Chain A
Amino acid sequence: MNQEPMQLPLPGFENARATWQRDYSKHIADDHAIRNRSGIQVNALYTPHDWDSERYMDDLGFPGQLPMTRGIYTTMHRGRPWSQRQLIGLGTPEDYNRRLKSIFKAGASAISLIPCNSVYRGYDMDEVDPLLLGTCGTIVNSVEDMDIFLRDIPIDQISAAQNDPLPFTLLAFVLAVAKRRGIPWEKVTGTSNQSDYISHFVANHMFFRIALPGSRRVLTDHIEFTNKHVPGWNPVSVVGQHMQQAGATPAEAMAFTLCTALQYAEDCMARGMAPDTFLPRFTFFFDISVSFFEEIAKLRAGRRVWSRVTRQRLAAKDPRSWRFKFHAQTSGVDLTRQQPLNNIARVTLQAMAGLFGGLQSLHTDAFDEVFSTPTEEAARVAVSTQNILRHEAHLADVIDPLGGSYYVETLTNEMEQQVETTMAKIDDAGGMYKAVESGLVQTMIGESALAFQRQVDSGEQKIIGVNAYQVEETPSHHAPLKRPDPAVTATQLSRFKAFKQSRNQARIRAALDTLASAANSENENIFARVVEAADVGVTHGEIVACLRREMGVGQPLVVA
């Protein structure tokens, strides 16, 4: 931390250091600068000169205490291991329900729902090319589908993580099913993953549905509604993962994520909501690259910045508002098609970085994801990797085990500075919403993506099997692909069409009219109308189409 070199009260330190420096230069005459992905120069050695324990209380403190560097909870993984949250998403709602029941029987209490890309794009199954249906996830288009999906599953005893971009039709279906079963909404818990429209707009257009101003309003409505009616629900997961996957450096991804969260919080406060009513329900989602120490430092720095900005900029008083709760996923971008088993090593390193970074839940990628949707075997290896790290390597035994490392603490401080520099740029541009509207963030991400690719092309960044240590490979042995049986998809499609026919069309029209008028009125909560529409049988595609018509189609702002 930019401190003046000082005389350390360690007998012999300065002499030994000078000797080492001399010998080092003798051995490495031409020591070239090494920089990490965020552009921070990495030295050969770190000592108390760079960081020393006099800064302990300022920089670290204790787990669960400010500045939260060592973790957001007192006991961290020692008290409660991280959640293993593997995404599953193939098959019909019936298949999915069978799978859920089996993992539920095995003791799991958290489920995740990954819908088909057609759902992400805001379409019902009768609106897209049948060739693509169900190839990437489950098709859930209506309250009927959700009812099948959750058959015999006690909704009040599970936590559901749903990839459910705005206007949050999947949560609306869950709430409708809960209502039918007489389960109070207060008992419904889980997270709206993919609620972060800003990250969709700049980095992952898969989920982007409604034009930017409309998206802004629907998300704020959603936070307000769940805050009031579904208090156990996390309405927001801010996704740094998209930014980093799209090419942002780890420091940039952290900065963009924090700025996005601040933007959402300020939008809520502009509605008159008090920060401590919604901030404890904010969650985050990060990508972990294979740049090991950099990722650890990124996550520790992010925790520190969030605990500060929530207090200083948002005036949050409740310690729960300062906690930087995050899920992390190992980065698919680092995986290679060449020598695919090497990916197991990469995923292991990424997972370790995430654990040392103090994550709350973890998804480990399957080594064969570069070929297609993971096979059973590869998915099992991914889960085992987490179990090995926990039970055999004992990585959950000690809280923040790298805390106090001269390198890790220095790097955490430097990453924090880097994050703050980028955050200042976004602030100067008028905040995250304006910065994406003007294309600034997209341009920054595009430049970083290109810079990294150039390093790979030049060989400066080696990737084993790709630009270094290549081997002649016979086309990889690879388990046969599982694609949905067209007959099964066709059955589901005809059932869906029959469901649409069977509905009370007048009620459907009325619900859609109410939704449309809510979209055009400042004083109504759009998400409340979405929930009502879902309850009377309006489909996912109909709801999204209505809002697109009223609020504008979400076109990604692509900056070439």
Chain B
Amino acid sequence: MSTGSNSEATTDLTARLLRGEPAALARAITEVENETTEMSAILRATQPRLGKATIVGFTGAPGAGKSTLISAYIKVLRARDKTVGVVTVDPSSPFSRGAILGDRIRMAEHTTDLGVFVRSVAARGHLGGISRTTARIVDIFDAVGKDVVIVETVGAGQSEVAVAEIADIKVVVCAPGLGDDVQAIKAGLLEIADILVVNKHDLPSADTTIRSLKAMLDLRNNNRDAVQVLATVATTGVGVNELAETIESKCTMHRPTRSPRTRIRRVLAGIAGQIVETHLQDTDDSAIDAVCDAVQRGDLSFESAAQRLLAERLGR
């Protein structure tokens, strides 16, 4: 990991960032997203300002209408004079590593609203529905004073539970008639949901979906109030006010339990993990090779090998 060049240009960038200049915000996100040498200076400058924003994660199966619902939610937030930052994540091609970032298409209502700042990022092979640096992009939005930061996950139908580590409120979106909607919920999403939204409630099978979701919640959860099931029609805005209210009230309930330490720990865990990963994968070190050989021979379990490497090679 680089120590970060605190050059004049970086100082200038962080200053402009903290003044709230949109261009500086965009550039800072680029630095953080790409983990450039400027990143640590930016993180250092933004660190003391964290913890004010409400962070809302939207996840769910493809075709459920996440982007459209987010757009409708933003409309409600803007009517209440809240500023909004959005990180939307799309998958990267495993072959070319390129990506098409198309979630903004369905947020067309806000294309010229300066109170809404949208950034599209590619997952770049990271699993769990977000990119590896999504959490840090969220932090930058938080630090520059966005009232609400929204994270939209990839939506590739995989188990996109990583958003749970970032968001205060997790909204899981599904749509009736997709067939696999309930299946998708089963794949781990139910556990992380604070709010379940059945979007496209104007479709005939919507009520069936709601009933089966509620039944599943009854089976799994003793505390029925913990997860709320809401119905929306994102295209017309039906139910979106109620969604915004629910997010806000859930957030007020959760607030006291959120301490800055939790967040810092999360960031530390991310950065530490990265240092370890880089070191173990890329460093030319015969001692690491020896441990690998021991694992291969069956002399060491993966677990103990990892423990040993952490203690011996990285504890310096």
Direct contact of A and B (CB under 8 A): yes
Show the binding face of A for B, using Cβ within 8 Å. 211, 438-439, 552, 555, 558, 560
Q: Is B63's CB under 8 angstroms from A211's CB?
A: no
Of B80-88, B100-108, B282-290, the one with at least 4 CB within 8 A of chain A: B100-108
Using Cβ atoms and an 8 Å threshold, which residues of chain B touch A439? 63
What chain A residues lie within 8 Å of B235 (beta carbons)? 211, 552
Residue among A211, A439, A558, A560 with the most chain B CB within 10 A? A560
| Distance between A140 CB and nearest chain B CB, rounded to angstroms | 28
B236 at interface, CB cutoff 8 A: yes
Which residues on A sit within 8 Å (CB–CB) of B108? 555
Which residues of B226-270 have CB atoms within 8 Å of chain A's CB atoms? 235-236
Interface string of B70-107 (1 = CB under 8 A from A): 00000000000000000000000000000010100110
Assess whether B102 is in contact with A558, with CB atoms less than 8 Å apart.
yes
- Distance in angstroms between the alpha carbons of A560 and B106 in the assembled complex: 12
- Interface contact B100-A560, CB-CB below 8 Å: yes
Min CB distance B267 to A, Å, is 32
Residues of A close to B106: CB separation below 8 A: 555
Ranked nearest first, the 6 interchain pairs of A and B with the lowest CB-CB distance are A560-B102, A560-B100, A558-B105, A555-B108, A438-B63, A552-B235
- 12 contacts across the A-B interface (CB closer than 8 A): A211-B235, A438-B63, A439-B63, A552-B235, A552-B236, A555-B106, A555-B108, A558-B102, A558-B105, A560-B100, A560-B102, A560-B105
B236 proximity list for chain A (CB < 8 A): 552
Chain B residues with a Cβ under 8 A of chain A: 63, 100, 102, 105-106, 108, 235-236
Q: How far is the CA of A211 from the CA of B236 in the complex (A)?
A: 11
Shortest distance from the beta carbon of B230 to any chain A beta carbon, whole Å = 22
C-alpha gap A560/B90 in the complex (Å): 11
* Nearest chain B residue, comparing its CB with the CB of A211: B235
**Considering only CB atoms, which chain B residue lies closest to A430 in the complex?**
B177
**A272 CB to nearest B CB, Å:** 22
Nearest CB in chain B: distance from A436 CB, A: 13
A344: min CB distance to chain B, Å: 38
CA distance A493 to B106 in the complex (A): 34
Min distance, Cβ B95 to any Cβ of chain A, angstroms: 14
The CA-CA distance from A439 to B235 in the complex, in Å, is 16
Across-interface contacts of B63 in A (CB, < 8 A): 438-439
CA distance A211 to B233 in the complex (A): 14
Please report the C-alpha to C-alpha distance between residue A558 and residue B236 in the assembled complex, in whole angstroms. 19
Q: Tell me, rounded to whole Å, the shortest Cβ–Cβ distance linking A492 to chain B.
A: 29
A44 to chain B, nearest CB (A): 36
Question: A555: which B residues are within 8 A, CB to CB?
Answer: 106, 108
* Distance from B1 Cβ to chain A, minimum over Cβ atoms (Å): 35
Residues of B within 8 A of A552 (CB): 235-236
Give the complex CA separation of A39 and B108 in angstroms.
37
Q: How far is the CA of A560 from the CA of B155 in the complex (A)?
A: 14
- Nearest-neighbour CB distance to chain B for A411, whole angstroms, equals 36
> A212's closest neighbor in chain B, by CB?
B235
Closest to A560 in B: B102
Smallest CB-CB separation from B202: which chain A residue?
A213
Cα–Cα distance between A522 and B120 once the two chains are bound (Å): 41
**Further pairs besides A211-B235, A552-B236, A558-B105: 9, Cβ < 8 Å:** A438-B63, A439-B63, A552-B235, A555-B106, A555-B108, A558-B102, A560-B100, A560-B102, A560-B105
